[in-house]
């Protein structure tokens, strides 16, 4: 029987555990597998209002043993009992594709208890093998990207020597990106768990901020990529301490003209759930031409003002997300940025695509605080870097 211990992180998430139970794990390792899964669960405060856990195991088929909505598993002891009973017999082959499909279609859904505004985290434990007929990259990519479009953060624990083979690592990286943790065996996974926990809830100690999200919504992005971008914004929103006396977030979408969705002063969006739902409702209709200057001006005049709800004792942050340069008819940034800087707005610029398109322009906007990825499927790799910039060094000003 696995024994409960106190949580240490103070981090509330919806945690989906996807566990490989094929014969390559080996029967003698079952006790160790259970113990390490229990140790991971014990890092979080499992409760009705705290972390919820859903467990899925897979071999030749995939089985979800409980859903987030099941209240009888909203306590740590019940989850540990479930792990103890669910992981028993090992089989074959390894149908990782079915495991990801079920996580996408059943686990991380509102109908089965996935909570809006609560950080969604999927953790896959596997030795890296997958059934030969199911290793086509598009099979895994579809399910993973579907989850990312809903704001699910995806992590992979690769356990054992097979996970270090290049052919298996290719699949693991496709699923987890740079969030792949390798361990020689389940008995040596403690360091990987520690590294994973270091990435959880990076803003949990933040006392709040006024944060503007300025989001490119032009046709050059494309519908599917925009859904991935929206999913990343959902990730950010779920990771922020949203509340009346904590973080307030205002959102501006832009193409030819900016669209202000809400201001800092709008009390309807002073909760994580309400803000999540606001982002989730953004449609995927895209505009033409990119006028970043107008969007930054809108942030300056509609958000970072007393009327817009800007609070003098909270840090001011702005995150710009774009896939291209501003239109040549745009107003020079030199006419806009100084006003934001005068209000102590820290600007972070995120460019998605070939960096040569952005070189110089994003630095003019954000100085040293520029992030870049080659494609929208990689944008979630920026999560912790961005969160550490907006949460790690700032508290309420005195």
- In the predicted model, is pLDDT for residue 7 greater than 80? no
> What is d(CA 240, CA 117) in angstroms, rounded to the nearest whole number?
9
- In the predicted model, is pLDDT for residue 63 greater than 80? yes
- In the predicted model, is pLDDT for residue 132 greater than 50? no
- In the predicted model, is pLDDT for residue 13 greater than 80? yes
Cβ(81)–Cβ(2) below 8 Å: yes
> What is d(CA 303, CA 307) in angstroms, rounded to the nearest whole number?
8
Cβ(240)–Cβ(202) below 8 Å: no
Cβ(212)–Cβ(260) below 8 Å: no
> What is d(CA 242, CA 128) in angstroms, rounded to the nearest whole number?
37
Return the CATH class of domain 13-199: alpha beta
Establish whether domains 13-199 and 210-391 are of one fold: yes
Confidence bin at 393 (pLDDT 50/70/90): low
What's the pLDDT score for residue 2?
44
- As a whole number of Å, the CA-based R_g of the chain is 22
What's the pLDDT score for residue 394?
47
Residue ranges covered by each domain of the chain: 13-199, 210-391
Query: pTM for this structure?
Result: 0.92
What's the pLDDT score for residue 82?
97
Confidence bin at 248 (pLDDT 50/70/90): very high
What's the pLDDT score for residue 5?
40
Confidence bin at 127 (pLDDT 50/70/90): confident
What's the pLDDT score for residue 153?
97
Per-chain mean pLDDT for the chain: 91
Q: Is the peptide bond before 93 cis (omega within 30 degrees of 0)?
A: yes
Backbone angle region of 182, left / alpha / beta, with phi > 0 → left and psi within -120 to 50 → alpha: beta
Average pLDDT over residues 347-359: 89
What's the pLDDT score for residue 28?
85
Please state at what angle helix 76-86 crosses helix 30-41, rounded to 10 degrees: 160
Please state at what angle helix 30-41 crosses helix 190-198, rounded to 10 degrees: 20
Residue 143 token pair: 């399910």
CA distances from 282 to 114, 135, 177, 231 (A): 19, 34, 26, 11
Which tens digit of pLDDT belongs to each residue from 187-221? Answer: 788 899 999 999 999 998 898 999 999 999 999 99
Classify domain 210-391 at the CATH topology level: Rossmann fold (3.40.50)
């Amino acid at each position: 029987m696995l024994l409960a211990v106190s949580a240490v992180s103070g981090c509330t998430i919806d945690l989906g555990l996807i566990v490989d139970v094929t014969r390559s794990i080996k029967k003698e390792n079952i006790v160790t597998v259970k113990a390490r899964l229990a140790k991971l669960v014990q890092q979080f405060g499992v409760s009705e209002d705290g972390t919820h856990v859903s467990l899925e195991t897979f071999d030749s088929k995939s089985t979800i043993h409980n859903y987030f909505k099941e209240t009888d598993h909203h306590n740590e002891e019940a989850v540990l009992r479930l792990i103890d009973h669910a992981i028993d017999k090992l089989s074959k082959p390894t149908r990782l594709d079915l495991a990801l499909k079920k996580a996408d279609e059943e686990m991380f859904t509102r109908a089965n208890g996935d909570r809006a505004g609560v950080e969604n985290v999927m953790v896959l434990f596997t030795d890296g093998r997958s059934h030969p007929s199911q290793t086509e990259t598009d099979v895994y990519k579809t399910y993973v990207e579907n989850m990312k479009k809903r704001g699910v953060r995806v992590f992979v624990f690769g356990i054992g020597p097979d996970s270090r083979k290049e052919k298996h690592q290719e699949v693991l990286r496709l699923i987890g990106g740079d969030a792949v943790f390798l361990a020689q065996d389940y008995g040596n996974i403690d360091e990987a768990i520690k590294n994973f926990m270091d990435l959880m809830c990076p803003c949990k100690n933040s006392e709040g901020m006024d944060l503007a999200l300025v989001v490119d919504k032009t046709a050059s992005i494309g519908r599917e990529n925009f859904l991935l971008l929206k999913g990343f914004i959902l990730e950010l929103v779920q990771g922020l301490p949203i509340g009346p006396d904590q973080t307030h977030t205002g959102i501006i979408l832009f193409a030819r003209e900016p669209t202000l969705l809400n201001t800092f002063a709008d009390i309807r969006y002073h909760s994580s759930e309400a803000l999540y739902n606001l982002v989730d409702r953004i449609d995927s209709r895209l505009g033409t031409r990119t006028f970043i200057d107008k969007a930054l001006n809108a942030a300056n005049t509609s958000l970072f003002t007393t009327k817009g709800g800007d609070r003098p004792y909270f840090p001011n942050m702005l995150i710009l997300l774009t896939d291209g340069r501003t239109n040549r008819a745009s107003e020079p940034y030199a006419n806009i940025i100084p006003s934001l800087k005068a209000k102590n707005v820290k600007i972070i610029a995120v460019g998605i695509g070939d960096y040569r398109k952005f070189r110089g322009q994003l630095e003019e906007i954000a100085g040293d605080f520029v992030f870049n990825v080659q494609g929208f499927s990689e944008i979630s790799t920026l999560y912790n870097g961005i969160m550490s910039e907006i949460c790690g060094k700032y508290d309420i000003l005195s």
